[in-house]
Structure 1
Amino acid sequence: MPTEAVPRRAGAPVALLLAAHPLPALAVTGLATALAAAVGRGPAGCLLVALAVLSGQLCIGWSNDRIDVARDVRAGRRDKPLAVGTLAPSSATAAACAAGGLCVPFSFASGPAAGLVHLLAVAAGLSYNAALKRTGWSWAPYALAFALLPAFVTLGLAPDRPWPPGWLLAAGALLGVGAHLTNVLPDIEADLACGIRGLPHRLGPGRSRALAALTLLAASAVLVLGPPGAPGATGWTGLAAAAALATAAALPRPARPDSRLPFLLAIALSALDLVLLLLRGTDLH
């Protein structure tokens, strides 16, 4: 459980921002926007991708803390504005609904197929919040949402609106599972005390770390080896760097079991994967 406490006198805008899970929301939005620029969506297309993904991520983040408020209070989560009383549940509910409402037109602005795919990804995130995080299928929403993100980007490319290659979808799914495992690691004990029994909780910290390393490394390997042609020196060097990051993300931290460093390293590895993909110069559509 994180030790960083939310100031009790934090104003409503600050508390609302903290309850939105801003770091993962901005990271996912930034990666999707960069991918949109790489495939040639243009400034307007990149803006539409950013607005759609950000609104979807905000909806997922606010709904997560709203649904979990009672559990977070029992767990003594000092990093949660709703749990410490700096944000009213009604405010989080209104913010999540507003973000979800905006996500619909922003998503369909990229086209009907792209809109449906992105809303399916957002629905996967909401299903995790509402129910699946408590089951052995907790990994599935992450895998589906991360796999569909590149599809949302490429399906907005007029006039062809193509699906991305299968290896890119597979890499996204693997990256999503790794992100799930590293995100849950710091909270396993607190979650178990509240009856949460997702996949990482059933595996335990040790096996979850090992699986996180394997899935994150597998995602990088697919991105390096999946496109046609030889990876070259840049690809192999990048894969070695990805292996180092995946290993570091999965290392135990006895002094700080609540550290968010594994999840931060997973985000860094995602950015590295995107760079490797762009350096390969692969046609993603």
Structure 2
Amino acid sequence: MGTPEQSTAGGPAASWPGRVGGLAGSCHPGPVVAVTALMAALAITAGQGAARCVLTAAAVLTGQLSVGWCNDAFDARRDIAAGRRGKPIADSTVGVTEVWVAAYAALALCVPLSFACGPWAGAVHLTGVAAAWAYDLRLKATAWSWAPYAVGFAALPAFVALGLPGQPWPAWWVVTAGALLGIGAHLGDVLPDIRGDLATGVRGWPHRLGPDGARLLLPVPLVAASAVLALGPAGPPGRLTPYETRRRKRDFPDPCCGCRQLARAVPRRDHDAADEAAVYRSTGPRASDDRATTAMRWRPVAGGQTIRPLRGSVPSMKVRARSDRRRLWARA
């Protein structure tokens, strides 16, 4: 094992294959691969398309890589002082500067990849990544060390859900289970290194519990997360975002009084040629209209109580439809 100066500057004799291997080892490859594979599987299960699944996996991968490299680079001197083996920087396999450069490069890639999945999805995912960086840089040695894990793991399923068409908010029980799994992951991640961390002055939440307390508490959040996932209600992942709700209300407004008056004048039966003819006779002929255009602009809903504009109608037809409803209501 090299001296602190050699390790932080990078061993000059290290070959490029050795440095690449050191970078791969310092990113915490086990958690990186596990989290990325889990989120890719969740994206496929949720119904994302192939291209969006690849984009989601790439965003999660770069975010996890940045967090892992940041952790090893920031803890380099502490790992060397504690004499930990198996750490590439402490073993002089790779320099701390190279690890910092890799961490910032991965973070720079994570930002556009996250926002490419949608503005809400990108904001949520980057919030989780920022929480993980805050853990590495500051919160690891405080009693709030569990909070970044909870936020980061809760943000992952939310990121996948917000990347779906319509950007639905994730269900509460999915976010809660993710947060509980994050707390359990924090306990399990810190448990093997508690004694070494205490020797170097790190006193996070698990360190304050002690090895025995952390070991006894570890199953609690994992069992609670499993219970939430098992008992969570079936159904859609959540409601639409405020932006999507406003957009749908704007494009497909609620029926007005004139529309209801017109609906009462139309025979209450299934949508067929007779209904189209009745609507056409009520609106009156126009030079630019024909029966096909009128049928596309209007659609009786079951029960004959309302008539809504068809999805897929062009904006100019929606404007003309609203004008017709006001004119017909005035006649009634």
Provide the TM-score with structure 2 as the length reference: 0.66
**Deviation of the 1:42 alpha carbon:** 1.2
**Deviation of the 1:90 alpha carbon:** 1.2
1:178-201 deviations in whole A, cap 9, x for unaligned? 000001000000000000000110
Matched, 1:165 2:176: no
1:43-58 counterparts in 2 under 5 A?
Answer: 43-58=50-65
CA distance in 1, matches of 2:155, 2:125: 7
2:213 maps to which of 183, 197, 207: 207
1:39-83 deviations in whole A, cap 9, x for unaligned? 111111110111000000000000100000000000111111111
1:260-280 deviations in whole A, cap 9, x for unaligned? xxxxxxxxxxxxxxxxxxxxx
1:185-232 deviations in whole A, cap 9, x for unaligned? 00000000000000110001111112210010100010001224xxxx
1:170-185 counterparts in 2 under 5 A?
Answer: 170-185=176-191
2:230 maps to which of 221, 224, 229: 224
Aligned length: 224
CA distance in 2, matches of 1:205, 1:192: 11
- The sequence identity of aligned pairs, in percent, is 55
Matched, 1:284 2:237: yes
- Flag the structure with higher helix content: 1
CA distance in 1, matches of 2:93, 2:84: 13
1:109-148 counterparts in 2 under 5 A?
Answer: 109-148=116-155
Give the gaps of 5 or more residues in structure 2: 1-13, 239-332
Provide the TM-score with structure 1 as the length reference: 0.77
Give the SS at the match of 1:284. Answer: coil
Give the gaps of 5 or more residues in structure 1: 1-7, 229-281
Partner of 1:84: 91
2:198 maps to which of 192, 199, 218: 192
CA distance in 1, matches of 2:29, 2:216: 27
Letter in 2 for 1:98: A
Measured on the aligned residues, the alpha-carbon RMSD in Å equals 1.2
**Deviation of the 1:163 alpha carbon:** 1.1
